[in-house]
């Protein structure tokens, strides 16, 4: 099928930020069959220094103009069944490593829409189009239960996310349900330590009480044990420190705790958290340029997931650098950080080459589109990080359940421990 026409419009993310949505029409010239697909770019509140430029200079209106002038004329006529051709053309027309001319938002929305059209043209699900006919592994859902840091406007704990993950669920529905139950029950435990808490949530639907990081982890561990006992599913607890947002160039500043920690103190602080709360997942424990501290922590805890997000930003060269240094045991993959599905796929391949686990992730300002569930399955991800509550989060989790039903008895569930 060939692309016959394309449109672009301004829309909103779940956080209320302006983003772009690309819509395209593809037609089979021999049969006249037509498919129409669309996709929108998510937006992160905290963006790594090495991510692609979200919009070109001039903002969203400049992005729309760049699409009309540079992208649309070049992709009309391309065959959507060969998605790498569309992604390659996006790189060609932009001509910069960070998509500074057309913007990463335009690039990823176009890439997503083309992939959806390619899957439709072949009559296969998007995850099969991305990963191949034998794709069948479902990722474990990683959910944000208590939120702090920048995602909570500094009103919660200094650590950005307190997470849970079901480790041995019998099926994907039970995996999702486990996190949902933990999220629901956590409110009761928060009220025990803060009776004035009014149930506030952050951008990702996580509870945002005014409590310390230690209190948040104590609550989460207690709720997890309660749900473990009832459902018979082992639950792991984790954190996303988002340390780059705490780093002032010399030390890590924990404003709500009234603490400042140098690099060595940060290492010991994170080590104690892992040991005290048996954390199975630790994301961005150090700032985005500190490969050496990542490597030291990963060496100490080879049996845990020490994961880089801002460290890698889905950038193949940075992932390769981290792999050579053994800086992490897991890597966050956010396709919008790098601009196209092709680039994200290449990043996944490099990460796997160095033995890193794949964590396909949403953004804090995500959209209602379900594509991320298919991308996670298509990439063979071990984990999908896409929140627990909220329409744009639930859309991906419900789609994961549908994919599980589609695969039926052939589905397998990832195991990380």
Q: Which residues are catalytic?
A: 204, 334
**94 labeled binding residue:** no
**382 labeled binding residue:** no
**69 labeled binding residue:** no
HEC readout, 325-379: HCCCCEEEECHHHHCCHHHHHHHHHHHHHCCCEEEEECCCECCCCCHHHHHHHHC
Torsion 175-178-179-180 (CA) sign: positive
Task: Quote the distance between the C-alpha of residue 416 and its chain's center.
Answer: 17
3 state SS of 46: coil
At CA 256, angle to CA 43 and CA 227, rounded to 5? 70
* 304 and 274 Cβ atoms separated by less than 8 Å: yes
* 357 and 416 Cβ atoms separated by less than 8 Å: yes
**363 labeled binding residue:** yes
**81 labeled binding residue:** no
**362 labeled binding residue:** yes
**234 labeled binding residue:** no
**364 labeled binding residue:** yes
**2 labeled binding residue:** no
CA atoms of 123 and 112, how far apart (whole Å) = 17
Distance between first and last Cα of the chain: 43
Q: What are phi and psi of 307, to 5 degrees?
A: -115, 135
Write out the E strands in 148-263: 161-166, 235-240, 252-254, 259-261
**161 labeled binding residue:** yes
Nearest in space to 39 (alpha carbons), one of 102, 89, 109, 92:
109
Q: What are phi and psi of 298, to 5 degrees?
A: -65, -35
3 state SS of 279: coil
Binding residues: 151, 160-161, 240, 283, 309, 334, 361-364, 385
- Give the residue ranges of the annotated binding site for Mg(2+): 240, 283, 309
Residue ranges at the known binding site for substrate: 151, 161, 283, 309, 361-364, 385
């Amino acid at each position: 099928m060939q692309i016959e026409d394309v449109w672009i419009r301004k829309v909103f993310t779940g956080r209320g930020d302006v983003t772009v949505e690309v819509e395209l029409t593809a037609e089979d010239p021999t049969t006249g069959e037509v498919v129409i697909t669309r996709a929108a770019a998510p937006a992160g509140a905290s963006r790594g220094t090495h991510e692609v430029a979200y919009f070109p200079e001039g903002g969203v209106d400049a992005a729309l103009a760049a699409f009309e002038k540079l992208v649309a004329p070049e992709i009309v006529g391309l065959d959507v069944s060969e998605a790498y051709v569309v992604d390659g053309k996006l790189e060609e027309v932009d001509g910069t490593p960070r998509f500074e001319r057309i913007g990463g938002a335009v690039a990823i929305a176009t890439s997503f829409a083309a992939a959806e059209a390619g899957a439709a043209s072949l009559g296969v699900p998007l995850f099969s189009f991305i990963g191949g006919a034998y794709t069948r592994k479902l990722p474990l859902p990683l959910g944000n239960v208590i939120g702090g840091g920048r995602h909570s406007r500094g009103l919660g704990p200094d650590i950005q996310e307190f997470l849970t993950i079901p480790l041995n669920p019998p099926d994907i529905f039970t995996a999702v349900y486990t996190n949902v139950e933990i999220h629901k029950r956590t409110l009761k435990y928060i009220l025990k330590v803060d009776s004035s808490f009014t149930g506030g949530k952050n951008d990702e639907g996580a509870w945002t009480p005014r409590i310390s990081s230690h209190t948040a982890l104590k609550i989460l561990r207690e709720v997890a044990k309660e749900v473990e006992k009832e459902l018979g599913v082992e639950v792991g607890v984790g954190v996303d420190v988002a340390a780059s947002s705490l780093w002032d160039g010399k030390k890590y500043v924990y404003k709500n705790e009234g603490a400042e920690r140098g690099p060595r103190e940060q290492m010991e602080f994170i080590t104690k958290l892992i040991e005290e709360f048996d954390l199975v997942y630790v994301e961005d424990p150090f700032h985005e340029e500190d490969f050496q501290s990542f490597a030291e922590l990963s060496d100490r805890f080879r049996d845990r997931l020490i994961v880089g997000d801002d460290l890698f930003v889905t950038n193949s060269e940075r992932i390769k650098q981290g792999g050579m240094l053994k800086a992490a045991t897991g890597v966050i993959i956010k396709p919008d950080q790098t601009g196209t599905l092709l680039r994200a796929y290449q990043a996944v391949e490099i990460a796997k080459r160095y033995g890193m686990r794949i964590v396909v992730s949403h953004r804090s300002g995500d959209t209602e589109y379900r594509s991320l569930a298919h991308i996670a399955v298509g990439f063979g991800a071990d984990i999908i990080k896409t929140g627990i509550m909220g329409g744009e989060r639930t859309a991906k989790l419900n789609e994961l359940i549908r994919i599980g039903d589609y695969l039926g008895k052939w589905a397998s569930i990832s195991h990380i421990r």
